[in-house]
């Protein structure tokens, strides 16, 4: 078990010790030196995009989004499937393959591919726009190629692969029992232990390089569908090619940092969640997993010929289609503006690749402003020390009725934190008793809080501050119950249980006093309170915060309100100083601006505090001398 701040300090020191890589080396020489950025056809066209639609989109990306670093345009899946009646995502037998069992673009949708040219002409046009060209590919080999039992190409001979006196075929290398789980009719793994299996994979990726592909999104090989052999071999092939091709893995349901550690060095980006669509649940589901990858130091870790990035998936904003659909864009994104800003803020603070998914031919101003916000893009590209920041506090915003009632009773409590708190009593000279403070959150509101944060080794829990009444210590689930500290009940120096709470009375054994040194003494027993353990598992609700530092010394702090009530979220600059302990900042000199509103924010009593909308975010930039 470690205290969270200790982990953070070690992390910062380690970085200082190794020195920060200079910007020029990280951008120019490495693959994916910064998180890749671009547009992908999936969220607006599903699989149905045509050459004309794709190139028109690329042209708009080049004019409107390239100046903001959106560089890759990626054709998502099934570009080889004929768009005819009966063809859909799970259909079999509609794909176009060449004599060697390799997928080639459907000539009706991609007319420039006729005559064996594949994607060469599309790639040329994309390059002439100053952009880079990407394609989506599936695992292994198609069922269609296996059924047709096509021969395997040996690219070194430009002829059929022969070994042990026989010509090898698709049926020899396809592993039927290892079909792609989510497209079981479509694709299966190939046996990379066989020379013919490796020759087949090599024939695919060498062809992509010949076409002029710059980015490959390799699907159904990671997460639940992990095929480490194929990833390793493809990575090896890409490393040997003359053409730099970024290697991206998808999808990533049930990915853990431990699993990612096996592949991150082989690739440039990898999905860490299932598909992200435009629902609040999808956005909220990214907070825990993203924190875990940041804690495991996976953001910008070593990757294929450069760096690798945990990928939170495309941004499904603007004008969209539906998953699995046979039609192009036809509806508006269902996230509201606050939720869209939350998504863009988390994706940027976590340095996820930013792949816009909406229809660029019909991009509205609000969507454009979100995905091109200069501060967010600066954070996404250049910030460092990106991590979740657990030392925040919250209460319902003053416009809620409950809040007014709580004010009148003189008691406050943390609303979202479930209560499994074990308080203890100890002598007031015990250093464990220190840490209590009065916090002024807003106008006449005062709370007594204990700052303590820790991380449990077997369970991802964060120990957060508990908010307690000014003189009463309240049961957080039953606010009419207060903590007793009567020595006659033999609770001294032992853990309190739930039954230590009794109806609130202004009795001395329920009265607590804050000493100047941060101890909280019980008026009756003279003993001081301490928190032995708080099991406050952060679930999909609640509040979150992320911090990062900028390349010019600025500090970024994002608040996220995952609740269905507007919340006032607060933090202390002294807590920020804890996680940024490598930096000596004069906090009283800080200028603080909130990015989405553009407003200056006052730091009063060393506290930054702001009401954050339901599912919304606040993003602060602190410039301190």
Ligand X SMILES: *[C@@H]1O[C@H](CO)[C@@H](O)[C@H](O)[C@H]1NC(C)=O
The smaller minimum CB distance to ligand X, of residues 398 and 585, is found at 585
The smaller minimum CB distance to ligand X, of residues 269 and 624, is found at 624
The smaller minimum CB distance to ligand X, of residues 328 and 518, is found at 518
Cis status of the peptide bond prior to 251, with omega within 30 of 0: yes
The smaller minimum CB distance to ligand X, of residues 435 and 582, is found at 435
Least distance in angstroms from the C-beta of 519 to ligand X: 5
Stretch that binds ligand X, among 35-43, 415-423, 426-434, 574-582 (CB under 6 A): 426-434
The smaller minimum CB distance to ligand X, of residues 176 and 591, is found at 591
d(CA 112, CA 126): 13
Least distance in angstroms from the C-beta of 32 to ligand X: 40
CB-count exposure of residue 22 (10 Å: 0-12, 13-18, 19+): exposed
Least distance in angstroms from the C-beta of 496 to ligand X: 20
Least distance in angstroms from the C-beta of 438 to ligand X: 15
Coil, strand or helix: which one is 514?
strand
Cβ atoms of 3 and 279 closer than 8 Å: no
The smaller minimum CB distance to ligand X, of residues 63 and 588, is found at 588
Q: Is 589 in the site for ligand X (CB under 6 A)?
A: yes
Coil, strand or helix: which one is 608?
strand
Least distance in angstroms from the C-beta of 435 to ligand X: 10
**Where does 101-245 show beta strands of DSSP type E?**
132-137, 141-142, 153-154, 159-160, 162-163, 166-167, 174-179, 187-190, 215-219
Coil, strand or helix: which one is 50?
coil
Stretch that binds ligand X, among 150-158, 270-278, 397-405, 424-432 (CB under 6 A): 424-432
First to last CA, the chain: 36
Q: Is 605 in the site for ligand X (CB under 6 A)?
A: no
Least distance in angstroms from the C-beta of 501 to ligand X: 25
d(CA 309, CA 288): 16
Q: What's the sign of the alpha-carbon dihedral 537, 294, 239, 214? A: positive
Least distance in angstroms from the C-beta of 367 to ligand X: 39
Q: Is 515 in the site for ligand X (CB under 6 A)?
A: yes
Q: Is 428 in the site for ligand X (CB under 6 A)?
A: yes
Q: Is 431 in the site for ligand X (CB under 6 A)?
A: yes
The smaller minimum CB distance to ligand X, of residues 394 and 525, is found at 525
* Helix then strand then coil, % of the chain, to nearest 5: 30, 25, 45
Cβ atoms of 205 and 115 closer than 8 Å: no
Q: Is 92 in the site for ligand X (CB under 6 A)?
A: no
Query: From the list 429, 443, 457, 602, which residue makes contact with ligand X (rule: CB under 6 A)?
Result: 429
**For residues 527-586, which are near ligand X according to CB under 6 A?**
586
Least distance in angstroms from the C-beta of 588 to ligand X: 5
Q: Is 519 in the site for ligand X (CB under 6 A)?
A: yes
Least distance in angstroms from the C-beta of 589 to ligand X: 3
Two structure tokens written together for 217 = 């999104």
Instruction: Give, in order, the Cα–Cα distances in Å from 142 to each of 169, 180, 252.
Output: 13, 10, 21
How many residues in the shown chain lie near ligand X by CB under 6 A? 10
Q: DSSP string covering 323-384, please?
A: TT-SS---EE--S-HHHHHHHHHHHHHTT--EEE-S-GGG--HHHHHHHT-HHHHHHHHH-E
Pair type for strands 174-179 and 187-190: antiparallel
Position of minimal CB gap to ligand X: 589
Nearest to 95 by CA among 62, 138, 57: 138
Query: From the list 517, 539, 574, 581, which residue makes contact with ligand X (rule: CB under 6 A)?
Result: 517
Query: From the list 25, 63, 240, 588, which residue makes contact with ligand X (rule: CB under 6 A)?
Result: 588
Provide the binding-site residues for ligand X, judged by CB under 6 A: 428-429, 431, 434, 515, 517, 519, 586, 588-589
């Amino acid at each position: 078990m470690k205290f969270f701040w200790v982990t953070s300090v070690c992390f910062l020191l380690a970085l200082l010790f190794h020195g920060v890589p200079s910007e020029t080396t990280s951008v120019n020489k490495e693959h994916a030196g910064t998180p890749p950025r671009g547009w992908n056809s999936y969220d607006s066209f599903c699989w149905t995009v045509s050459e004309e639609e794709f190139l028109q989109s690329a042209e708009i990306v080049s004019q409107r989004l390239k100046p903001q670093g959106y560089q890759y345009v990626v054709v998502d899946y099934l570009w080889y499937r004929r768009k005819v009646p009966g063809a859909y995502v799970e259909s079999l037998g509609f794909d176009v393959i060449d004599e060697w069992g390799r997928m080639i673009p459907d000539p009706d949708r991609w007319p420039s591919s006729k005559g064996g040219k594949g994607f060469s002409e599309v790639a040329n046009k994309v390059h002439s726009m100053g952009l880079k060209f990407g394609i989506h590919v599936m695992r292994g080999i198609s069922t269609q190629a296996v059924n047709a039992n096509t021969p395997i190409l040996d690219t070194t001979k430009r002829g059929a692969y022969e070994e042990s006196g026989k010509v090898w075929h698709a049926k020899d290398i396809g592993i039927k029992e290892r079909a792609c789980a989510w497209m079981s009719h479509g694709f299966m793994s190939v046996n990379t232990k066989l020379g013919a299996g490796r020759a087949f994979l090599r024939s695919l990726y060498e062809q992509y390089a010949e076409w002029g592909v710059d980015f490959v999104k390799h699907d159904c090989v990671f997460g639940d569908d992990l095929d480490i052999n194929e990833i390793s071999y493809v990575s090896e092939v890409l490393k040997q090619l003359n053409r730099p091709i970024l290697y991206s893995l998808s999808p990533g349901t049930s990915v853990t940092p431990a699993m990612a550690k096996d592949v991150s060095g082989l690739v440039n980006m990898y999905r860490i969640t299932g598909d992200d669509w435009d629902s609040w649940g999808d956005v909220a589901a990214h907070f825990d997993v993203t924190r875990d990858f940041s804690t495991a130091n996976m953001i910008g870790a070593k990757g294929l010929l450069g760096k690798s990035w945990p990928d939170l998936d495309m941004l499904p904003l603007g004008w969209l289609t539906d998953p699995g659909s046979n039609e192009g864009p036809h509806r508006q994104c269902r996230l509201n503006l606050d939720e869209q800003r939350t998504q863009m803020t988390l994706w940027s603070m976590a340095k996820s690749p930013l792949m816009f998914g909406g229809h660029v031919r019909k991009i509205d101003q609000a969507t454009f402003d979100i995905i091109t916000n200069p501060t967010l893009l600066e954070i996404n590209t250049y910030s460092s020390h990106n991590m979740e920041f657990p030392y925040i506090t919250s209460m319902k915003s003053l416009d809620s009725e409950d809040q007014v009632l709580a004010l009148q009773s003189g008691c406050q409590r943390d609303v979202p934190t479930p209560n499994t708190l074990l308080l203890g009593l100890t002598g007031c000279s015990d250093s464990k008793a220190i840490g209590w403070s009065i916090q002024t959150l807003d106008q006449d509101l005062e709370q007594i809080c204990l700052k303590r944060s820790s991380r449990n080794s077997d369970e991802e829990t964060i120990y957060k501050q508990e908010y307690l009444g000014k003189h009463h210590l309240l049961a957080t689930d039953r606010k009419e119950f207060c903590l007793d500290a009567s020595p006659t009940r033999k609770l001294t120096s032992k853990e309190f249980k739930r039954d230590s709470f009794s109806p609130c009375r202004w009795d001395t054994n329920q009265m607590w006093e804050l000493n100047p040194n941060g101890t909280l003494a019980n008026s009756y027993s003279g003993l001081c309170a301490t928190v032995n353990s708080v099991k406050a598992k952060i679930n999909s609700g609640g509040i979150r915060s992320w911090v990062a530092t900028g390349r010019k010394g600025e500090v970024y702090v994002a608040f996220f309100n995952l609740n269905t009530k507007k919340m006032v979220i607060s933090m202390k600059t002294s807590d920020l100083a804890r996680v940024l302990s490598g930096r000596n900042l004069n906090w009283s000199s800080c200028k603080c601006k909130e990015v989405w509103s553009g407003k200056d924010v006052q730091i009063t009593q060393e506290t930054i505090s702001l009401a954050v909308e339901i599912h919304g975010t606040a993003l602060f930039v602190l410039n301190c001398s």
